[in-house]
Amino acid sequence: MSVAPPSVSDTSTTPLTFVSSATPTDDDIVLLLTTAPDMLLAKRIAHVVVEEHLAACVHVSPAGVSMYMWQGNLEGGDEVALTLKTTRARCVSLADRVRSLHPYDIPELLVLPVLGGSPDYLQWVRNQVRHGLPEGGC
User: What is the CATH classification number for the domain harbouring 124?
Assistant: 3.30.70.120
Q: What is the mean pLDDT of residues 94-119?
A: 96
Three-class SS state of 43: helix
The answer to whether residue 101 sits within a structural domain is yes
For residue 46, which of 31, 29, 58, 34 has the smallest C-alpha distance?
58
The answer to whether residue 69 sits within a structural domain is yes
The answer to whether residue 13 sits within a structural domain is no
Res. 55: pLDDT tops 90:
yes
Query: pLDDT tens for residues 66-81?
Result: 999 999 999 999 999 9
Residues in the chain: 138
Domain count, the chain: 1
Residue 120: which domain range? 39-129
The answer to whether residue 32 sits within a structural domain is no
Cα 69 to Cα 16, 55, 97: the distances in Å are 40, 30, 25
Res. 138: pLDDT tops 70:
no
Residue 99: other Cβ atoms inside 10 A: 13
The answer to whether residue 14 sits within a structural domain is no
Higher pLDDT, 76 or 134: 76
| CA atoms lying within 13 Å on the CB side of residue 27 | 9
Q: What residues pair up with 66 in beta bridges, in sequence order?
A: 77
Res. 27: pLDDT tops 70:
yes
pLDDT tier at 119, thresholds 50, 70, 90: very high
The answer to whether residue 63 sits within a structural domain is yes
The answer to whether residue 23 sits within a structural domain is no
